[in-house]
Amino acid sequence: MVAKLQCVVLDCADVVELSRFYQSLLGGAVNHPDPRWSLDDDWATLHTEDGFVLAFQRVEDHRRPRWPNPAHPQQFHLDLEVEDLDRAQEDILARGAKLLDDGGGERSWRVFADPAGHPFCLVRH
């Protein structure tokens, strides 16, 4: 092993908005004090209850990803495990997500975009 994963960093225009969106999905604490990072208008963190950390970095003139379009690449994506895809979809759409691919009804996953345009998947448990 060469390294240990410290966090996943998402580029966005509004670090507070995006950190609160993911907090509403995953729980945890936004901007929990941590000596590894300075928190400011350009950087926010979400510490989940299981110890995983997402970080959010403000990027001037952020270009929203367009899935699936290589001219506007994903930049990253998360797979989030859920028990009930339909119920989870309804919930995250109400929180500001946008449906990108419903899986055609046959798949065990669906693709969404967060408020900053980053694709993520809900995957049936």
Please name the helix (run of DSSP H) or strand (run of DSSP E) that holds residue 113, with its range, or none: strand 109-113
Is residue 63 in a domain? no
Per-residue pLDDT of the chain (125 residues; tens, 9 = 90+): 666 888 999 999 999 999 999 999 999 999 999 888 888 999 999 999 999 999 999 999 888 888 888 888 777 788 888 989 999 999 999 999 999 999 887 678 899 999 999 988 898 87
- Residues with Cβ within 8 Å of 73's Cβ and at least 6 positions away in sequence, in order, are 65
Rounded-to-integer distance, Cα 46 and Cα 53, Å: 6
CA 20 – CA 49 distance, rounded (Å): 15
Residue 87 falls within a domain, yes or no?
yes
List the domain range (segments joined by +) for residue 36: 8-58
DSSP characters over 39-66: -BTTEEEEE-TTS-EEEEEE-TTPPPP-
CATH (domain of 17): 3.30.720
